[in-house]
Structure 1
Amino acid sequence: MATTDRQARTPALAHALSAAERGLAVIPLSPTKLPALRSPHRDDPDPRPCHGECGRLGHGVYDAATDPARVRELFAAAPWATGYGIACGLPPHHLIGIDLDTKPDGASSTALRELALRHLFTIPPTVVVLTPSGGRHLWLTGPPGVAVPNSAGRLAPGIDVRGAGGYLVGPGSVTRHGAYTTAPGTAHLPPATCPPALLRLLLPPPRRPGRAPAATGGHGRGLVQFVLAAHEGQRNTRLFWAACRAYEDGIGPALKNALIDAAVHTGLTEQEARATIASAARMTGHRP
Protein backbone atom coordinates (compact mmCIF):
# COMPACT_ATOMS: atom_id res chain seq x y z
CA MET A 1 0.00 0.00 0.00
CA ALA A 2 2.97 2.30 0.49
CA THR A 3 3.71 5.00 -2.06
CA THR A 4 6.85 4.82 -4.18
CA ASP A 5 7.46 8.52 -3.58
CA ARG A 6 11.23 8.77 -3.10
CA GLN A 7 10.89 12.02 -1.17
CA ALA A 8 9.08 10.25 1.66
CA ARG A 9 11.62 10.40 4.49
CA THR A 10 10.11 7.69 6.69
CA PRO A 11 8.05 4.53 6.10
CA ALA A 12 5.21 6.09 8.09
CA LEU A 13 5.09 9.10 5.77
CA ALA A 14 5.29 6.83 2.72
CA HIS A 15 2.30 4.80 3.85
CA ALA A 16 0.39 7.93 4.83
CA LEU A 17 0.95 9.50 1.42
CA SER A 18 -0.24 6.30 -0.23
CA ALA A 19 -3.44 6.37 1.84
CA ALA A 20 -3.94 10.05 1.03
CA GLU A 21 -3.72 9.22 -2.68
CA ARG A 22 -6.74 6.98 -2.15
CA GLY A 23 -8.75 9.82 -0.63
CA LEU A 24 -8.15 8.85 3.00
CA ALA A 25 -7.40 11.77 5.32
CA VAL A 26 -4.41 11.02 7.56
CA ILE A 27 -2.56 12.27 10.65
CA PRO A 28 0.81 11.19 12.13
CA LEU A 29 0.69 8.80 15.11
CA SER A 30 3.23 8.11 17.83
CA PRO A 31 4.28 4.56 18.81
CA THR A 32 1.47 4.66 21.41
CA LYS A 33 -1.12 5.00 18.61
CA LEU A 34 -2.02 8.48 19.83
CA PRO A 35 -1.79 11.60 17.61
CA ALA A 36 1.88 12.52 17.42
CA LEU A 37 1.27 16.26 17.64
CA ARG A 38 0.24 17.57 21.03
CA SER A 39 -2.48 20.15 21.39
CA PRO A 40 -1.23 23.74 21.03
CA HIS A 41 -3.71 24.67 23.77
CA ARG A 42 -2.41 22.26 26.41
CA ASP A 43 -0.86 25.07 28.47
CA ASP A 44 -3.65 27.60 28.02
CA PRO A 45 -5.00 28.73 31.40
CA ASP A 46 -8.56 28.63 30.06
CA PRO A 47 -8.59 26.29 27.05
CA ARG A 48 -11.63 26.46 24.83
CA PRO A 49 -12.80 23.91 22.27
CA CYS A 50 -10.83 24.33 19.06
CA HIS A 51 -10.96 22.15 15.97
CA GLY A 52 -8.07 23.84 14.24
CA GLU A 53 -9.65 27.26 13.83
CA CYS A 54 -6.53 28.74 15.45
CA GLY A 55 -4.48 27.70 12.41
CA ARG A 56 -1.93 25.69 14.40
CA LEU A 57 -1.25 21.94 14.25
CA GLY A 58 -2.11 19.51 17.02
CA HIS A 59 -5.88 19.03 16.84
CA GLY A 60 -5.96 15.28 16.26
CA VAL A 61 -8.36 14.13 13.54
CA TYR A 62 -9.21 17.75 12.79
CA ASP A 63 -5.71 18.04 11.28
CA ALA A 64 -6.37 15.09 8.95
CA ALA A 65 -5.57 15.79 5.32
CA THR A 66 -5.39 14.19 1.89
CA ASP A 67 -3.33 16.95 0.30
CA PRO A 68 0.27 15.66 -0.05
CA ALA A 69 1.79 19.02 0.90
CA ARG A 70 -0.32 19.18 4.04
CA VAL A 71 0.52 15.56 4.92
CA ARG A 72 4.23 16.35 4.57
CA GLU A 73 3.80 19.39 6.80
CA LEU A 74 2.15 17.26 9.50
CA PHE A 75 4.90 14.64 9.43
CA ALA A 76 7.65 17.27 9.29
CA ALA A 77 6.25 18.65 12.54
CA ALA A 78 6.29 15.15 14.05
CA PRO A 79 9.48 13.41 12.81
CA TRP A 80 9.12 10.87 15.64
CA ALA A 81 5.88 9.51 14.15
CA THR A 82 6.01 5.78 13.41
CA GLY A 83 2.51 5.41 12.06
CA TYR A 84 -0.52 7.23 10.77
CA GLY A 85 -4.18 7.43 11.60
CA ILE A 86 -7.01 7.51 9.07
CA ALA A 87 -9.87 9.83 10.03
CA CYS A 88 -13.29 8.20 9.84
CA GLY A 89 -16.51 9.77 8.62
CA LEU A 90 -14.93 12.14 6.09
CA PRO A 91 -15.71 12.32 2.35
CA PRO A 92 -15.30 10.74 -0.09
CA HIS A 93 -15.31 7.37 1.73
CA HIS A 94 -17.14 8.26 4.99
CA LEU A 95 -15.11 5.47 6.56
CA ILE A 96 -16.54 3.30 9.36
CA GLY A 97 -14.22 0.97 11.24
CA ILE A 98 -15.41 -2.24 12.90
CA ASP A 99 -12.75 -3.20 15.45
CA LEU A 100 -12.87 -6.86 16.47
CA ASP A 101 -10.93 -7.61 19.63
CA THR A 102 -8.37 -10.32 20.27
CA LYS A 103 -10.01 -12.65 22.78
CA PRO A 104 -8.68 -16.19 22.28
CA ASP A 105 -12.19 -17.66 22.01
CA GLY A 106 -12.98 -15.43 19.03
CA ALA A 107 -15.93 -13.94 20.90
CA SER A 108 -16.07 -10.74 18.86
CA SER A 109 -16.08 -12.57 15.52
CA THR A 110 -18.77 -14.90 16.82
CA ALA A 111 -20.82 -11.95 18.04
CA LEU A 112 -20.59 -10.28 14.63
CA ARG A 113 -21.71 -13.48 12.89
CA GLU A 114 -24.65 -13.77 15.28
CA LEU A 115 -25.64 -10.16 14.59
CA ALA A 116 -25.44 -10.84 10.86
CA LEU A 117 -27.68 -13.90 11.16
CA ARG A 118 -30.17 -12.15 13.43
CA HIS A 119 -30.43 -9.00 11.33
CA LEU A 120 -30.00 -10.63 7.92
CA PHE A 121 -26.86 -8.95 6.61
CA THR A 122 -23.50 -10.10 5.33
CA ILE A 123 -20.17 -8.28 5.45
CA PRO A 124 -19.05 -7.85 1.82
CA PRO A 125 -15.41 -8.28 0.77
CA THR A 126 -13.53 -5.26 2.03
CA VAL A 127 -10.22 -4.02 3.43
CA VAL A 128 -9.21 -5.90 6.57
CA VAL A 129 -6.32 -4.66 8.70
CA LEU A 130 -4.60 -7.03 11.14
CA THR A 131 -3.45 -5.59 14.46
CA PRO A 132 -0.26 -6.64 16.29
CA SER A 133 -2.32 -8.29 19.04
CA GLY A 134 -4.33 -10.43 16.63
CA GLY A 135 -7.41 -8.26 16.19
CA ARG A 136 -8.99 -7.13 12.94
CA HIS A 137 -10.27 -3.83 11.61
CA LEU A 138 -12.97 -4.06 8.95
CA TRP A 139 -13.28 -0.99 6.73
CA LEU A 140 -16.76 0.00 5.57
CA THR A 141 -18.25 3.15 4.07
CA GLY A 142 -21.40 4.98 5.08
CA PRO A 143 -23.70 7.39 3.24
CA PRO A 144 -22.97 11.14 3.18
CA GLY A 145 -24.61 13.20 5.89
CA VAL A 146 -24.93 10.29 8.33
CA ALA A 147 -22.63 10.48 11.36
CA VAL A 148 -21.89 7.08 12.88
CA PRO A 149 -20.75 7.62 16.49
CA ASN A 150 -17.75 5.99 18.09
CA SER A 151 -18.57 3.26 20.57
CA ALA A 152 -16.93 0.54 22.62
CA GLY A 153 -18.84 -2.68 23.15
CA ARG A 154 -22.24 -1.16 22.38
CA LEU A 155 -22.74 -3.16 19.18
CA ALA A 156 -21.65 -6.38 20.91
CA PRO A 157 -19.04 -7.39 23.51
CA GLY A 158 -15.55 -7.09 22.08
CA ILE A 159 -16.61 -4.97 19.10
CA ASP A 160 -15.66 -1.30 18.97
CA VAL A 161 -16.80 1.12 16.29
CA ARG A 162 -14.79 3.99 14.83
CA GLY A 163 -16.95 6.67 13.26
CA ALA A 164 -17.12 10.44 12.98
CA GLY A 165 -14.41 12.05 15.09
CA GLY A 166 -12.48 8.80 15.40
CA TYR A 167 -9.58 7.26 13.50
CA LEU A 168 -8.15 3.89 12.52
CA VAL A 169 -4.47 2.99 12.70
CA GLY A 170 -3.38 2.63 9.08
CA PRO A 171 -1.67 -0.48 7.69
CA GLY A 172 2.10 -0.06 7.65
CA SER A 173 2.08 1.72 11.01
CA VAL A 174 4.50 0.47 13.65
CA THR A 175 3.58 0.74 17.33
CA ARG A 176 5.17 -0.39 20.57
CA HIS A 177 3.40 -3.72 20.16
CA GLY A 178 4.22 -4.32 16.51
CA ALA A 179 3.06 -3.49 13.00
CA TYR A 180 -0.39 -3.13 11.47
CA THR A 181 -0.71 -5.01 8.19
CA THR A 182 -3.35 -5.51 5.53
CA ALA A 183 -4.84 -9.01 5.48
CA PRO A 184 -3.80 -11.02 2.42
CA GLY A 185 -6.08 -10.51 -0.55
CA THR A 186 -7.73 -7.32 0.76
CA ALA A 187 -5.19 -4.56 0.08
CA HIS A 188 -6.51 -3.95 -3.45
CA LEU A 189 -10.15 -3.74 -2.37
CA PRO A 190 -12.01 -0.47 -1.82
CA PRO A 191 -13.87 -0.11 1.49
CA ALA A 192 -17.22 -1.85 1.02
CA THR A 193 -20.60 -0.21 1.57
CA CYS A 194 -21.92 -0.84 5.06
CA PRO A 195 -24.97 -3.14 4.88
CA PRO A 196 -28.14 -1.13 5.70
CA ALA A 197 -29.14 -3.45 8.54
CA LEU A 198 -25.71 -3.08 10.17
CA LEU A 199 -25.72 0.68 9.63
CA ARG A 200 -28.98 0.97 11.57
CA LEU A 201 -27.39 -0.90 14.46
CA LEU A 202 -24.46 1.53 14.44
CA LEU A 203 -26.65 4.62 14.65
CA PRO A 204 -27.88 5.96 18.02
CA PRO A 205 -31.17 4.41 19.18
CA PRO A 206 -34.13 6.79 19.07
CA ARG A 207 -35.15 8.57 22.23
CA ARG A 208 -38.83 7.80 22.51
CA PRO A 209 -41.13 10.69 23.47
CA GLY A 210 -42.80 10.34 26.85
CA ARG A 211 -46.23 10.04 25.27
CA ALA A 212 -45.63 8.54 21.88
CA PRO A 213 -48.85 7.62 20.01
CA ALA A 214 -49.52 3.90 20.16
CA ALA A 215 -52.02 3.49 17.31
CA THR A 216 -51.01 2.18 13.90
CA GLY A 217 -50.72 5.72 12.63
CA GLY A 218 -48.68 6.56 15.70
CA HIS A 219 -45.60 4.83 14.35
CA GLY A 220 -45.36 7.33 11.53
CA ARG A 221 -46.03 10.23 13.89
CA GLY A 222 -43.39 8.86 16.21
CA LEU A 223 -40.81 8.86 13.42
CA VAL A 224 -41.70 12.46 12.55
CA GLN A 225 -41.38 13.46 16.21
CA PHE A 226 -38.02 11.71 16.33
CA VAL A 227 -36.80 13.93 13.49
CA LEU A 228 -38.31 17.06 15.06
CA ALA A 229 -36.37 16.39 18.28
CA ALA A 230 -33.02 16.48 16.46
CA HIS A 231 -30.38 18.95 17.57
CA GLU A 232 -27.70 20.47 15.37
CA GLY A 233 -25.18 17.82 14.42
CA GLN A 234 -27.68 14.95 14.45
CA ARG A 235 -30.36 16.17 12.05
CA ASN A 236 -29.22 14.18 9.01
CA THR A 237 -28.54 11.09 11.10
CA ARG A 238 -32.00 11.14 12.70
CA LEU A 239 -33.71 11.81 9.38
CA PHE A 240 -31.83 8.95 7.72
CA TRP A 241 -32.72 6.54 10.55
CA ALA A 242 -36.40 7.53 10.52
CA ALA A 243 -36.62 7.26 6.73
CA CYS A 244 -35.03 3.80 6.79
CA ARG A 245 -37.57 2.63 9.34
CA ALA A 246 -40.42 4.14 7.32
CA TYR A 247 -39.39 2.41 4.09
CA GLU A 248 -38.81 -0.90 5.88
CA ASP A 249 -42.33 -0.71 7.33
CA GLY A 250 -43.91 0.17 4.01
CA ILE A 251 -44.90 3.72 4.89
CA GLY A 252 -41.93 5.51 3.34
CA PRO A 253 -43.74 7.08 0.36
CA ALA A 254 -46.68 8.14 2.51
CA LEU A 255 -44.46 9.62 5.21
CA LYS A 256 -41.91 11.26 2.91
CA ASN A 257 -43.42 14.76 2.83
CA ALA A 258 -43.99 14.81 6.59
CA LEU A 259 -40.36 13.81 7.17
CA ILE A 260 -39.16 16.52 4.80
CA ASP A 261 -41.27 19.13 6.61
CA ALA A 262 -39.91 17.97 9.97
CA ALA A 263 -36.32 18.08 8.73
CA VAL A 264 -36.77 21.57 7.30
CA HIS A 265 -38.23 22.64 10.65
CA THR A 266 -34.99 21.51 12.37
CA GLY A 267 -32.84 23.57 10.01
CA LEU A 268 -32.06 21.35 7.03
CA THR A 269 -32.82 22.62 3.56
CA GLU A 270 -35.49 20.84 1.54
CA GLN A 271 -32.81 19.71 -0.91
CA GLU A 272 -30.71 18.20 1.91
CA ALA A 273 -33.76 16.44 3.36
CA ARG A 274 -34.80 14.98 0.01
CA ALA A 275 -31.25 13.74 -0.65
CA THR A 276 -31.06 12.03 2.75
CA ILE A 277 -34.45 10.36 2.30
CA ALA A 278 -33.47 9.23 -1.19
CA SER A 279 -30.31 7.71 0.27
CA ALA A 280 -32.39 5.86 2.89
CA ALA A 281 -34.70 4.57 0.17
CA ARG A 282 -31.78 3.21 -1.82
CA MET A 283 -30.15 1.66 1.24
CA THR A 284 -33.37 -0.23 2.05
CA GLY A 285 -33.85 -1.45 -1.51
CA HIS A 286 -36.56 0.99 -2.58
CA ARG A 287 -36.66 3.39 -5.49
CA PRO A 288 -36.50 7.01 -4.29
Structure 2
Amino acid sequence: MATTDRQATTLALAHALSAAERGLAVIPLSRTKLPALRSPHRDAPDPAGPPCHGECGRYGHGVHDATTDPARIRKLFAAAPHATGYGIACGLPPHHLIGVDLDTKTGADSFAALRELARRHLFTIPATVVVLTPSGGRHLWLSGPPDVVVPNSAGRLAPGIDIRGAGGYLVGPGSRTDHGTYTPAPGTAHLAPAACPPALLRLLLPPPRAHHPTPPSTGGHGQGLVQFVLAAHEGQRNTRLFWAACRAYEEGIGPALAGSLADAAVSTGLSEREAHATIASAARMTAHRP
Protein backbone atom coordinates (compact mmCIF):
# COMPACT_ATOMS: atom_id res chain seq x y z
CA MET A 1 0.00 0.00 0.00
CA ALA A 2 2.84 2.37 0.90
CA THR A 3 4.51 1.63 -2.43
CA THR A 4 1.25 2.36 -4.25
CA ASP A 5 0.92 5.68 -2.42
CA ARG A 6 4.49 6.64 -3.28
CA GLN A 7 3.86 5.82 -6.92
CA ALA A 8 0.68 7.94 -6.89
CA THR A 9 2.57 10.85 -5.34
CA THR A 10 5.40 10.55 -7.88
CA LEU A 11 2.87 10.48 -10.72
CA ALA A 12 0.97 13.46 -9.29
CA LEU A 13 4.21 15.42 -9.02
CA ALA A 14 5.05 14.66 -12.65
CA HIS A 15 1.62 15.86 -13.78
CA ALA A 16 1.91 18.96 -11.62
CA LEU A 17 5.31 19.85 -13.07
CA SER A 18 3.93 19.39 -16.58
CA ALA A 19 1.03 21.73 -15.77
CA ALA A 20 3.45 24.30 -14.37
CA GLU A 21 5.35 24.26 -17.65
CA ARG A 22 2.12 25.50 -19.26
CA GLY A 23 1.95 28.43 -16.83
CA LEU A 24 -0.52 26.82 -14.42
CA ALA A 25 0.17 27.33 -10.70
CA VAL A 26 -0.31 24.12 -8.71
CA ILE A 27 -0.57 22.70 -5.18
CA PRO A 28 -0.55 19.07 -3.94
CA LEU A 29 -3.95 17.52 -3.14
CA SER A 30 -4.97 14.53 -1.05
CA ARG A 31 -7.25 11.70 -2.16
CA THR A 32 -10.17 13.76 -0.82
CA LYS A 33 -9.37 16.57 -3.32
CA LEU A 34 -8.43 18.88 -0.45
CA PRO A 35 -5.01 20.55 -0.08
CA ALA A 36 -2.57 17.91 1.12
CA LEU A 37 -0.75 20.24 3.50
CA ARG A 38 -2.41 21.23 6.76
CA SER A 39 -2.40 24.85 7.88
CA PRO A 40 0.56 25.76 10.10
CA HIS A 41 -1.86 27.99 12.03
CA ARG A 42 -4.46 25.31 12.77
CA ASP A 43 -3.63 25.18 16.51
CA ALA A 44 -3.14 28.92 16.93
CA PRO A 45 -5.84 31.10 18.53
CA ASP A 46 -7.88 33.30 16.24
CA PRO A 47 -5.51 36.01 14.96
CA ALA A 48 -6.25 39.61 15.75
CA GLY A 49 -5.34 40.67 12.23
CA PRO A 50 -5.99 39.42 8.69
CA PRO A 51 -5.56 35.69 8.03
CA CYS A 52 -2.16 34.54 6.82
CA HIS A 53 -1.99 33.70 3.13
CA GLY A 54 1.58 32.51 3.20
CA GLU A 55 3.28 35.62 4.51
CA CYS A 56 4.72 33.49 7.35
CA GLY A 57 6.86 31.64 4.80
CA ARG A 58 5.56 28.16 5.70
CA TYR A 59 3.50 25.75 3.61
CA GLY A 60 -0.12 24.89 4.27
CA HIS A 61 -2.09 27.90 3.02
CA GLY A 62 -4.12 26.04 0.43
CA VAL A 63 -4.42 27.71 -2.94
CA HIS A 64 -2.20 30.56 -1.73
CA ASP A 65 0.75 28.10 -1.92
CA ALA A 66 0.17 27.61 -5.65
CA THR A 67 3.23 28.14 -7.80
CA THR A 68 4.74 27.45 -11.21
CA ASP A 69 8.29 27.25 -9.82
CA PRO A 70 9.51 23.64 -10.29
CA ALA A 71 11.81 23.76 -7.26
CA ARG A 72 9.03 25.01 -5.00
CA ILE A 73 6.59 22.44 -6.40
CA ARG A 74 9.04 19.66 -5.54
CA LYS A 75 9.36 21.03 -2.01
CA LEU A 76 5.57 21.19 -1.64
CA PHE A 77 5.21 17.56 -2.69
CA ALA A 78 8.13 16.53 -0.48
CA ALA A 79 6.25 18.05 2.44
CA ALA A 80 3.08 16.21 1.37
CA PRO A 81 4.19 12.58 0.91
CA HIS A 82 0.60 11.30 0.79
CA ALA A 83 -0.52 13.60 -2.02
CA THR A 84 -2.11 11.73 -4.91
CA GLY A 85 -3.16 14.69 -7.02
CA TYR A 86 -2.70 18.36 -7.64
CA GLY A 87 -4.86 21.43 -7.79
CA ILE A 88 -4.60 24.18 -10.39
CA ALA A 89 -5.19 27.67 -9.03
CA CYS A 90 -7.72 29.77 -10.91
CA GLY A 91 -7.57 33.47 -11.61
CA LEU A 92 -3.78 33.75 -11.83
CA PRO A 93 -1.71 34.99 -14.79
CA PRO A 94 -1.00 34.16 -17.53
CA HIS A 95 -4.25 32.26 -18.18
CA HIS A 96 -6.49 33.79 -15.47
CA LEU A 97 -8.17 30.40 -15.46
CA ILE A 98 -11.94 30.07 -14.99
CA GLY A 99 -13.27 26.59 -14.33
CA VAL A 100 -16.79 25.62 -15.33
CA ASP A 101 -17.62 22.52 -13.27
CA LEU A 102 -20.48 20.57 -14.83
CA ASP A 103 -21.56 18.25 -12.06
CA THR A 104 -23.79 15.19 -12.31
CA LYS A 105 -24.13 14.23 -8.63
CA THR A 106 -27.17 16.47 -8.06
CA GLY A 107 -29.18 14.66 -10.73
CA ALA A 108 -29.44 17.84 -12.78
CA ASP A 109 -28.46 17.81 -16.46
CA SER A 110 -25.75 20.46 -16.17
CA PHE A 111 -24.60 19.87 -19.74
CA ALA A 112 -28.05 20.72 -21.08
CA ALA A 113 -28.26 23.69 -18.71
CA LEU A 114 -25.04 25.14 -20.11
CA ARG A 115 -26.24 24.64 -23.67
CA GLU A 116 -29.49 26.41 -22.79
CA LEU A 117 -27.56 29.32 -21.27
CA ALA A 118 -25.49 29.54 -24.46
CA ARG A 119 -28.64 29.56 -26.60
CA ARG A 120 -30.44 32.12 -24.46
CA HIS A 121 -27.49 34.50 -24.11
CA LEU A 122 -26.13 34.03 -27.62
CA PHE A 123 -22.68 32.64 -27.01
CA THR A 124 -20.85 29.58 -28.30
CA ILE A 125 -19.08 27.15 -26.00
CA PRO A 126 -15.54 27.20 -27.42
CA ALA A 127 -13.22 24.28 -28.02
CA THR A 128 -11.06 24.16 -24.92
CA VAL A 129 -9.46 21.86 -22.35
CA VAL A 130 -12.04 19.49 -20.87
CA VAL A 131 -11.28 17.26 -17.89
CA LEU A 132 -13.49 14.25 -17.14
CA THR A 133 -14.23 13.66 -13.46
CA PRO A 134 -14.65 10.23 -11.82
CA SER A 135 -18.34 10.99 -11.12
CA GLY A 136 -19.12 11.57 -14.79
CA GLY A 137 -18.88 15.34 -14.73
CA ARG A 138 -16.68 17.66 -16.73
CA HIS A 139 -14.44 20.62 -16.03
CA LEU A 140 -14.21 23.19 -18.82
CA TRP A 141 -11.15 25.42 -18.70
CA LEU A 142 -11.59 29.00 -19.89
CA SER A 143 -9.29 31.99 -19.87
CA GLY A 144 -10.48 35.29 -18.41
CA PRO A 145 -9.33 38.89 -18.95
CA PRO A 146 -6.45 39.98 -16.71
CA ASP A 147 -8.40 42.90 -15.21
CA VAL A 148 -11.50 40.92 -14.22
CA VAL A 149 -11.96 38.94 -11.00
CA VAL A 150 -14.42 36.08 -11.40
CA PRO A 151 -15.76 34.87 -8.03
CA ASN A 152 -16.43 31.27 -7.10
CA SER A 153 -20.05 30.18 -7.15
CA ALA A 154 -22.08 27.01 -6.74
CA GLY A 155 -25.30 26.51 -8.67
CA ARG A 156 -25.80 30.23 -9.27
CA LEU A 157 -25.91 29.92 -13.06
CA ALA A 158 -27.97 26.73 -13.00
CA PRO A 159 -28.23 23.58 -10.86
CA GLY A 160 -25.10 21.50 -11.23
CA ILE A 161 -22.96 24.30 -12.66
CA ASP A 162 -20.24 25.49 -10.29
CA ILE A 163 -17.68 28.13 -11.15
CA ARG A 164 -14.08 28.11 -9.95
CA GLY A 165 -12.64 31.60 -10.05
CA ALA A 166 -10.18 33.70 -8.06
CA GLY A 167 -9.24 31.91 -4.84
CA GLY A 168 -10.49 28.56 -6.15
CA TYR A 169 -8.79 25.60 -7.80
CA LEU A 170 -9.50 22.76 -10.19
CA VAL A 171 -8.37 19.17 -9.70
CA GLY A 172 -5.73 18.62 -12.35
CA PRO A 173 -5.91 15.81 -14.91
CA GLY A 174 -3.98 12.76 -13.75
CA SER A 175 -4.98 13.26 -10.12
CA ARG A 176 -6.14 10.18 -8.23
CA THR A 177 -8.91 10.48 -5.65
CA ASP A 178 -11.01 8.14 -3.51
CA HIS A 179 -13.49 7.96 -6.38
CA GLY A 180 -11.16 7.58 -9.35
CA THR A 181 -8.83 9.49 -11.64
CA TYR A 182 -9.35 12.81 -13.42
CA THR A 183 -8.55 12.45 -17.11
CA PRO A 184 -8.39 14.83 -20.08
CA ALA A 185 -11.22 14.40 -22.57
CA PRO A 186 -9.99 12.93 -25.86
CA GLY A 187 -8.69 15.56 -28.24
CA THR A 188 -8.52 18.39 -25.70
CA ALA A 189 -5.29 17.83 -23.77
CA HIS A 190 -3.20 19.75 -26.31
CA LEU A 191 -5.48 22.80 -26.30
CA ALA A 192 -4.89 26.02 -24.42
CA PRO A 193 -7.74 27.36 -22.26
CA ALA A 194 -10.07 29.19 -24.67
CA ALA A 195 -11.11 32.77 -24.00
CA CYS A 196 -14.32 32.96 -22.01
CA PRO A 197 -17.12 34.27 -24.26
CA PRO A 198 -18.00 37.85 -23.18
CA ALA A 199 -21.68 36.99 -22.75
CA LEU A 200 -20.79 34.10 -20.42
CA LEU A 201 -18.28 36.27 -18.56
CA ARG A 202 -21.03 38.79 -17.81
CA LEU A 203 -23.09 36.00 -16.26
CA LEU A 204 -20.18 35.00 -14.04
CA LEU A 205 -19.61 38.45 -12.55
CA PRO A 206 -21.60 39.79 -9.60
CA PRO A 207 -24.14 42.48 -10.50
CA PRO A 208 -22.90 46.07 -10.20
CA ARG A 209 -23.45 47.57 -6.80
CA ALA A 210 -24.80 51.06 -6.28
CA HIS A 211 -22.53 53.56 -4.55
CA HIS A 212 -23.43 54.24 -0.94
CA PRO A 213 -21.92 56.99 1.20
CA THR A 214 -20.50 56.05 4.58
CA PRO A 215 -23.55 55.35 6.72
CA PRO A 216 -23.77 57.08 10.10
CA SER A 217 -25.20 53.93 11.72
CA THR A 218 -22.00 51.89 11.52
CA GLY A 219 -20.39 53.82 14.35
CA GLY A 220 -16.76 54.12 15.29
CA HIS A 221 -15.92 50.48 14.70
CA GLY A 222 -17.22 50.68 11.14
CA GLN A 223 -15.02 53.67 10.50
CA GLY A 224 -12.12 51.76 12.01
CA LEU A 225 -12.61 48.96 9.50
CA VAL A 226 -12.68 51.49 6.66
CA GLN A 227 -9.45 53.04 7.95
CA PHE A 228 -7.92 49.57 8.18
CA VAL A 229 -8.59 49.09 4.46
CA LEU A 230 -7.35 52.59 3.60
CA ALA A 231 -4.01 51.84 5.29
CA ALA A 232 -3.32 48.86 3.01
CA HIS A 233 -0.13 48.80 0.96
CA GLU A 234 0.37 46.93 -2.30
CA GLY A 235 0.19 43.22 -1.59
CA GLN A 236 -2.13 43.75 1.39
CA ARG A 237 -5.14 45.33 -0.28
CA ASN A 238 -7.24 42.25 -1.00
CA THR A 239 -6.34 40.60 2.30
CA ARG A 240 -7.20 43.66 4.38
CA LEU A 241 -10.45 44.22 2.52
CA PHE A 242 -11.52 40.59 2.94
CA TRP A 243 -10.72 40.61 6.67
CA ALA A 244 -12.52 43.92 7.27
CA ALA A 245 -15.57 42.79 5.31
CA CYS A 246 -15.75 39.52 7.26
CA ARG A 247 -15.68 41.44 10.55
CA ALA A 248 -18.36 43.82 9.29
CA TYR A 249 -20.72 41.01 8.26
CA GLU A 250 -20.09 39.09 11.47
CA GLU A 251 -21.07 42.18 13.47
CA GLY A 252 -24.19 42.89 11.43
CA ILE A 253 -22.97 46.07 9.72
CA GLY A 254 -21.78 44.45 6.49
CA PRO A 255 -24.61 45.60 4.21
CA ALA A 256 -24.39 49.16 5.53
CA LEU A 257 -20.60 49.31 5.36
CA ALA A 258 -19.98 47.45 2.09
CA GLY A 259 -20.07 50.55 -0.10
CA SER A 260 -17.59 52.42 2.09
CA LEU A 261 -15.25 49.42 2.26
CA ALA A 262 -15.36 49.11 -1.53
CA ASP A 263 -14.63 52.83 -1.97
CA ALA A 264 -11.71 52.57 0.44
CA ALA A 265 -10.29 49.57 -1.41
CA VAL A 266 -10.63 51.31 -4.79
CA SER A 267 -8.77 54.32 -3.41
CA THR A 268 -5.83 52.04 -2.54
CA GLY A 269 -5.63 50.68 -6.08
CA LEU A 270 -8.04 47.75 -6.36
CA SER A 271 -10.47 47.74 -9.25
CA GLU A 272 -14.16 48.17 -8.44
CA ARG A 273 -14.89 44.64 -9.66
CA GLU A 274 -12.15 43.13 -7.53
CA ALA A 275 -13.30 45.07 -4.47
CA HIS A 276 -16.93 44.03 -4.89
CA ALA A 277 -15.94 40.40 -5.58
CA THR A 278 -13.83 40.30 -2.40
CA ILE A 279 -16.65 41.76 -0.29
CA ALA A 280 -19.11 39.32 -1.83
CA SER A 281 -16.76 36.45 -0.94
CA ALA A 282 -16.61 37.71 2.65
CA ALA A 283 -20.40 37.86 2.79
CA ARG A 284 -20.67 34.26 1.59
CA MET A 285 -17.93 33.14 3.96
CA THR A 286 -19.84 34.55 6.91
CA ALA A 287 -23.15 33.07 5.68
CA HIS A 288 -24.63 36.41 4.66
CA ARG A 289 -25.98 37.32 1.27
CA PRO A 290 -24.54 40.62 -0.05
Q: Same fold (TM over 0.5)?
A: yes
Q: Distance in 1 between matches of 2:30 and 2:185?
A: 23
Q: Deviations over 1:164-201 (max 9, x none)?
A: 00000000000000000000000000000000000010
CA shift, 1:75, in A, is 0.2
CA distance in 2, matches of 1:209, 1:43: 40
Opposite residue 62 of structure 1, the aligned amino acid is H
- Is 2:61 the partner of 1:59? yes
Residue in 2 that maps onto 1:84: 86
* Counterpart position of 1:94: 96
Query: What is the distance in 2 between the residues matched to 1:268 and 1:84?
Result: 32
The TM-score, its normalising length taken from structure 1, stands at: 0.70
SS in 2 for 1:102: coil
Query: Is residue 185 from structure 1 mapped to residue 204 from structure 2 by the alignment?
Result: no
Report if the CA contact (8 A) 2:105-2:135 is conserved.
no
Give unpaired runs (5+ residues) of structure 2. Answer: 1-7, 213-229, 231-236, 239-262, 273-290
Give runs of ≥4 in structure 1 deviating > 6 Å: 262-265
CA distance in 2, matches of 1:44, 1:263: 30
Task: Give the structure 2 partner of residue 10 of structure 1.
Answer: 10
Q: Which amino acid aligns with 2:96?
A: H
User: What is the RMSD of the two structures over their aligned residues, measured on CA atoms?
Assistant: 2.7
Instruction: Give the conservation status (yes or no) of the 8 Å contact 2:99–2:170.
Output: yes
Match of 1:137 among 108, 120, 139: 139
| Residue type of the alignment partner of 1:13 | L
Deviation at 1:144, TM superposition (A): 0.6
Is 1:197 the counterpart of 2:199? The answer is yes
Q: Is 2:44 the counterpart of 1:44?
A: yes
- Paired residues, number: 218
In structure 2, what residue type is equivalent to 1:78? A
Partner in structure 1 of residue 157 of structure 2: 155
Distance in 2 (CA, whole Å) between partners of 1:90 and 1:97 is 12
Structure 1 position 45, deviation (Å): 2.0
Residues 115, 69 of structure 1: alpha-carbon distance in 2 compared, 3 angstrom cutoff: same
Aligned residue identity for 1:40: P
- 1:155 aligned counterpart, secondary structure: coil
1:164 aligned partner = 166
Q: 1:28 aligned to 2:33?
A: no
Amino acid at match of 2:173: P
Q: Take 2:86 and 2:139, find their aligned partners in 1: how far apart are those partners?
A: 15
* Identical amino acids, percent of aligned pairs: 79
Task: Name structure 1 gaps, 5 residues minimum.
Answer: 1-7, 211-230, 234-261, 274-288
Give the 3 Å change call, closer, same or farther, for CA 143–202 of structure 1 in structure 2.
Answer: same
Kindly provide the amino acid, as one letter, of the partner of residue 148 in structure 1.
Answer: V
After superposition, the Cα gap between the structure-2 partners of 1:148 and 1:45, relative to the gap in structure 1 and judged at 3 Å, is: same
Kept after mapping to 1: 8 A contact 2:108/2:160: no
